């Protein structure tokens, strides 16, 4: 009965995250102190106290969720002595999965995510755009919706839920067209812009030289790619290429879960604030065991469950 560790994505952030891990364990506190030193601003204070508006900035949010998730992951390993058979993460969470598998170190992951978040925010500000969640569309309806509006598929969360990216006008049109097509629900999302779409091409181009300056290694255990829905190659160069592709490409979370099942995983432990991924996994396959580790209380419950 294999286990997969999964790492939260952007949008899960909440003021106060990581604080009880840090106050309970010196190593966890060291992660936040190191983040402050590496990044040159007080990430720890923003995580522990907010304000929420600061925490939602992409260049703050992305490293903040990573540090909190990694602290949760480390606390779980200490408490349980468990090991994992594979790892995955949603968007920025894939970087946490790569770090957990030893592909790049903690400091490098922080630097990458601060830059990634900053470049993505700049791309959002340069071209007004947005995202919309589509629930209950058939493949044919989804194709027609994209054709009629010019939106592209940003996330495949499950067979029943996808997220589209597009210009502000395209997103507004998508809500109306979805209703015309008889799609059950279309929910505009409060995001800074059209992530995982061609709108992020400037961010992808700026991120390339940052990754060139980071040392990647072969993963110690399989890490699932958002782009391919399959385990990453053991070739560090190919991993870098896929992580650049991830900035503009579709994030296929449903395929990652399916691939983890093919690797024999029946238990998924989510690390980081919230439990969005646990909820999506349960919708994909209700037979899978899920647990989340967001704070000390959920750590204790997860240790008992898995």
**Domains in the chain, CATH or no CATH each:** 2-125+198-305 (3.40.366.10), 129-189 (3.30.70.250)
Residue % of the chain over a pLDDT of 90: 96
Neighbours of 37 (CB within 10 A): 10
Using alpha carbons only, what angle is made at residue 39 by residues 126 and 241, rounded to the nearest 5 degrees? 60
**What per-residue confidence (pLDDT) applies to 208?**
98
Mean confidence (pLDDT) of the chain: 96
**Is there a cis peptide before residue 51, judged by omega within 30 degrees of 0?**
yes
Tell me the pLDDT tens digit for each residue of 148-175. Answer: 999 999 999 999 999 999 999 999 999 9
Beta-carbon contacts of 28 under 8 Å, excluding residues fewer than 6 positions away, are 18, 21, 22, 71, 74, 75
Q: How high is the pLDDT of residue 306?
A: 85
Q: What pairing do the DSSP bridges indicate for beta strands 86-89 and 129-135?
A: unpaired
Q: Which of 58, 69, 196, 278 is catalytic?
A: 196
Active-site residue, 91 included: yes
| pLDDT for res 190 | 82
Distance between CA 91 and CA 174 in Å, rounded? 23
The one catalytic residue in 69, 91, 129, 165 is 91
pLDDT tens per residue across span 168-226: 999 999 999 999 999 999 999 988 899 999 999 999 999 999 999 999 999 999 999 99
Active site residue 287: no
**Local confidence pLDDT in tens for the 306 residues of the chain:** 799 999 999 988 999 999 999 999 999 999 999 999 999 999 999 999 999 999 988 899 999 999 999 999 999 999 999 999 999 999 999 999 999 999 999 999 999 999 999 999 999 999 999 999 999 999 999 999 999 999 999 999 999 999 999 999 999 999 999 999 999 999 999 888 999 999 999 999 999 999 999 999 999 999 999 999 999 999 999 999 999 999 999 999 999 999 999 999 999 999 999 999 999 999 999 999 999 999 999 999 999 988
The Cα–Cα gap between 181 and 134 comes to: 12
């Amino acid at each position: 009965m294999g286990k997969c560790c999964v790492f939260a994505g952007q949008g899960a952030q909440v003021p106060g995250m990581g604080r009880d891990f840090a106050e309970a364990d010196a190593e966890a506190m060291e992660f936040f102190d190191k983040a402050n030193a590496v990044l040159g601003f007080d990430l720890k204070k923003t995580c522990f106290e907010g304000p929420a508006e600061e925490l939602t900035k992409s260049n703050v949010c992305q490293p903040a969720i990573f540090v909190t998730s990694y602290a949760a992951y480390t606390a779980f390993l200490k408490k349980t002595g468990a090991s994992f058979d594979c790892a995955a993460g949603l968007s920025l969470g894939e970087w946490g999965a790569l770090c957990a598998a030893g592909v790049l170190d903690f400091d490098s992951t922080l630097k990458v995510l601060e830059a990634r978040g900053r470049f993505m925010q700049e791309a959002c500000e340069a071209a007004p755009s947005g995202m919309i969640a589509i629930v209950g569309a058939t493949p044919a309806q989804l194709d027609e919706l994209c054709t009629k509006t010019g939106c592209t598929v940003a996330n495949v969360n499950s067979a029943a839920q996808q997220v589209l990216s597009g210009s502000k006008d395209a997103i507004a049109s998508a809500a109306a067209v979805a209703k015309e097509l008889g799609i059950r629900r279309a929910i505009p999302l409060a995001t800074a812009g059209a992530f995982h779409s061609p709108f992020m091409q400037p961010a992808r181009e700026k991120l390339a030289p940052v990754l060139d300056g980071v040392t990647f290694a072969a993963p110690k255990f399989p890490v699932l790619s958002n782009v391919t829905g399959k385990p990453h190659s053991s070739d560090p160069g190919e991993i870098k290429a896929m992580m650049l592709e991830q900035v503009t490409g579709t994030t296929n979370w449903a395929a990652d879960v399916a691939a983890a099942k093919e690797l024999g995983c029946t238990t998924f432990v989510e690390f980081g604030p919230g439990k969005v991924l646990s909820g999506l996994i349960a919708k994909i396959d209700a037979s899978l065991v899920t647990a989340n580790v967001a704070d000390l209380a959920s750590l204790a419950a997860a240790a008992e469950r898995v």
